[in-house]
Amino acid sequence: MNLTKRIKRPTLHEELVERLRNLVVEDALKPGEKVPEKDLCESFGVSRTPLREALKVLASEGLVVLQANRGARVAEVTPEELEKTFPVIAMLEQLAGELACKNLSDAGIASIEKRHEAMVKAFHARDIKSYFQANQDIHAALIEGARNDILESHHRLLAARVRRARFMVNLSDERWAQAIQEHEQMMDKLRERDADGLGRLMKMHMMNKYAAHIKALSDKPEHSDQS
């Protein structure tokens, strides 16, 4: 009798890390906002000890910042941070593309292809929600297809931080169309299993996304103090 399956009862603090991370990434806790231990403890029904452990982890991930004797604040998403984060993500995506071409099975590629079609359909239907989900799925599948958990975990960390930026701007229709085109090209390379090609495209895709963010930010009138 070999029960390889382990009974998984996550510890409180692991659970909390996950839930808190979601609150931050999904913008339920807004950047700059202070994270009141007491309130969260009550709403989660736990004591401060595991919650504080979770906050330490979130801090090491860069999602919150701790100030001694002043508690935790949700980390801001600044243009400077984006400027520094995107190039790093772009490099990781490049590597992911290269490795995915080598390590994905034909079935894996077919699965991505299906999601790609769903994404294109969502684009034509202007269904932002579905588009966003499909897009995220595709990228996640490519990263996972690289079969490199170190790469995956670091990518996830950075992606979480950057994903919060989507609440700062709304992407233009032009950028949306361009992104679809880039994805088409990526699919071509993936089908051909052109590792270098896909890597280059994924890196470029990410830097173009960054450029679009920058542009959207500069176009945004808000915060321009001269009225």
Helix 128-145, helix 79-103: angle, nearest 10: 60
Of 32-40, 76-84, 131-139, 169-177, the segment contacting DNA by CB under 7 A is 32-40
> In the set 19, 27, 33, 52, which binds DNA (CB under 7 A)?
52
Determine how many CB atoms are found less than 10 A away from the CB of residue 171: 16
Nearer CB in complex with DNA: 22/49 = 49
32 scored as a contact of DNA (CB under 7 A): no
> In the set 28, 30, 32, 49, which binds DNA (CB under 7 A)?
49
| Side chain identity, residue 149 | D
Distance of CA 101 to the CA centre of its chain: 21
Task: Give 191-194's long-range contacts (Cβ < 8 A, gap of 24+).
Answer: 191/109, 191/113, 193/101, 193/102, 194/101
> In the set 19, 52, 193, 200, which binds a second copy (CB under 8 A)?
52
Q: Tokens for 65, please give them.
A: 């910042």
Q: Footprint of a second copy on residues 144-203 (CB under 8 A)?
A: 148-151, 153-154, 157-158
**What is the smallest separation between the CB atom of 136 and a second copy, expressed in angstroms?**
21
Q: How many helices (H) and strands (E) does the chain have?
A: 9, 3
Site track for DNA across 60-79, x = CB under 7 A? ------xxxxxxx-------
Determine how many CB atoms are found less than 10 A away from the CB of residue 5: 6
Contact set with a second copy (CB under 8 A): 9-11, 13, 49, 52-54, 56-57, 59-62, 66, 68, 81, 84-85, 87-88, 91-92, 94-95, 99, 148-151, 153-154, 157-158
